[in-house]
Amino acid sequence: MSWRPAFLPPGSIRWLHGSTRSSAATTSANSSVCWPHRTETHSSRQSDGNPQRPSLQEPMTATAIAPTTATLADQLGNHFASFDASRLTDDTRRAVKRLLLDYLGVAISGSQTESGRVAREFAAITGGHAEATLIGGAGRVPAMQAAFANAISSHSVELDDIDVLALFHFSPPVYSAALATAQQVGASGQQLLISLAAGCEMMERLSKAANNSLRNRGFHTTPTCGVFGATVATATLQQLSAEQIVSALGLAGASASGLMEMYGPSMQKRFNPGPAARNGVTAATIARLGFTGTSTIFDGERGFLAAFTDSNQPEKLVTDLDRDYQLDIEFKPYSCARPIHNAIDCALEIRRKHSPDLSQVRSIEMARHPEWAHYHQNKRPQTYHEAQVSLPYSVAVALTDGQALFAQYNNARLPEPMLLRLSDLVNITPDASLPRGVSCRMTMTMADGTRHVAQVDYPKGSIQNAMDDAELRAKFDSLVHPVLGAERADEIAAMVQGIEEIDDVGQLMRLTEKSAGR
């Protein structure tokens, strides 16, 4: 007979896909609570010719009971314990390096915002070993605190990367955890790239298994899935064994959190990836020391998928583990919520093609797919946090300025008469004929009856409408020059380009520190 809490009747526990589970199936799952003990060592899995990851203090060992079947976490543990340079295809290597440059630019800029400043101050006053750099600041703090603060900084200007289908940001949790840990253990650039690829893959696999149900229930994908990506990235750098990774994933699940109740005048949204990055470092580190976690964190009756979703596809966690994995990384050219970018592209296209006299605009109709028509409707944002999730304001500032970077969302700009006028003219309507969830069609009607129309299905920075290397570098420069200067920006970009050749990631991270003279 299967175990259940005394207060629940038989068959009442919700299982994956929202169904109930039979007693026989429950018994099978509950026999797999403890993670297995395997004698295989990390060094025996290391491929010849691949660089060795840095050694840490030998972890304690723990006795474990072998399950009858491999859980999802078991399979992932085996996969990521053997993750090495052979997994870095040319496409993957290019993708994680491009994202590294983008992340550093965004984090350096974000470190100077109020949320970034407070996060850095918090990390600094908590004390501890000087292990990792606070990006855009001075001095070093414990790795998990650097991961926390840098994750918040990198999410503070709404320019961080995006997976548009799952609607999450890879870099704040994964890159923040990996860079802090890499600096802590003295990892090489090649080892960093391996950890970044592993962490991003873990995060994307889980988001595909959980979405869109997770978001529909009010959970924020970036931190809830990101803590697992941060854990795997850290575990890869710390040389965790397969069974230790299983435990680390279980412990990460215990701290998975982040709610969509985050829009408005506060800094709430910026905070969410901070704990995810920090908790990922914590989960991997404590597992290395011998702390054990459940092996059924994904497929258990009270596991992550059962708790966070009403429907899910758990098989996507482990599909094609033996094949090359392609990351779906997109980049943001505009400093606002990604689903608004299509509307901005429409506004910029009309501005470029027709140069309309904005004083003569009579109406602006924005047709959006019904999936998104009810979002981002605020016409009178009171803070830049609100402006960055306002479609009417974003369209207005794109029409007036010809761009939508962080400067366009400054609080001082919000009451400008022309921006208020244009925002009030924007009317968002649902249109089921639009082909994609984020598709947008803009119709601008002038006082003389002239109509200007633009439709964008794939925004700039998407996989189908990509930012090239020159555009990505221009974005990086625009973010870094005001903080660190052009010379430092060039040094950082050059080191990222040749990251495989550096022996110590600390060389790169030291370049992101802000000197006393700036």
DSSP-assigned states of every residue in 210-221:
HTTHHHHTTB-H
Query: Is the predicted pLDDT of residue 207 greater than 90, yes or no?
Result: yes
Strand 132-133, strand 140-141: pairing: antiparallel
Query: Is the predicted pLDDT of residue 486 greater than 80, yes or no?
Result: yes
Residue 18's pLDDT band, with cuts at 50, 70 and 90, is very low
242-296 per-position pLDDT tens digit: 999 999 999 999 999 999 898 888 899 999 999 999 999 999 999 999 999 999 9
**In 3D, which of 208, 171, 199, 185 has the Cα closest to residue 80?**
199
Residue 68's pLDDT band, with cuts at 50, 70 and 90, is low
What's the half-sphere exposure (Cβ side, CA atoms, 13 Å) at 499?
26
Query: In the 8-state DSSP scheme, what is residue 143?
Result: H
Query: Is the predicted pLDDT of residue 64 greater than 70, yes or no?
Result: no
Query: Is the predicted pLDDT of residue 67 greater than 80, yes or no?
Result: no
Mean pLDDT of 46-75: 56
Query: Is the predicted pLDDT of residue 356 greater than 70, yes or no?
Result: yes
pTM value is 0.85
Mean pLDDT of 297-303: 96
**Average model confidence (pLDDT) across the chain:** 88
Mean pLDDT of 215-229: 95
**Cβ count within 10 A of residue 429:** 12
454: helix, strand or coil: strand
Q: Give me the domains of the chain, ranges plus CATH numbers.
A: 1-30 (no CATH), 31-57+64-317 (1.10.4100.10), 338-456 (3.30.1330.120)
> Are residues 87 and 194 in contact, defined by beta-carbon separation less than 8 angstroms?
yes
> Are residues 223 and 273 in contact, defined by beta-carbon separation less than 8 angstroms?
yes
Cross-strand pairs, 430:
368
Largest distance between two CA atoms of the chain? 80
Nearest-angstrom CA–CA distance, 237 and 80? 11
pLDDT of 49 = 40
> Are residues 379 and 423 in contact, defined by beta-carbon separation less than 8 angstroms?
yes
H-type alpha helices, 40-158: 42-45, 72-81, 90-110, 114-125, 143-154
Residue 3's pLDDT band, with cuts at 50, 70 and 90, is very low
Query: Is the predicted pLDDT of residue 41 greater than 90, yes or no?
Result: no
The torsion angles phi and psi of 445, rounded to 5 degrees, stand at -110, 130
Query: Is the predicted pLDDT of residue 25 greater than 60, yes or no?
Result: no
> Are residues 385 and 481 in contact, defined by beta-carbon separation less than 8 angstroms?
no
Strand 426-430, strand 451-456: pairing: unpaired
Query: Is the predicted pLDDT of residue 166 greater than 80, yes or no?
Result: no
Higher pLDDT, 19 or 499: 499
Q: Is the dihedral of CA 101, 151, 504, 125 positive or negative?
A: positive
In this structure, the chain runs to a length of 518
pLDDT of 58 = 46
* Sheet bearing 361-368, strands edge to edge: 426-430, 361-368, 440-446, 451-456
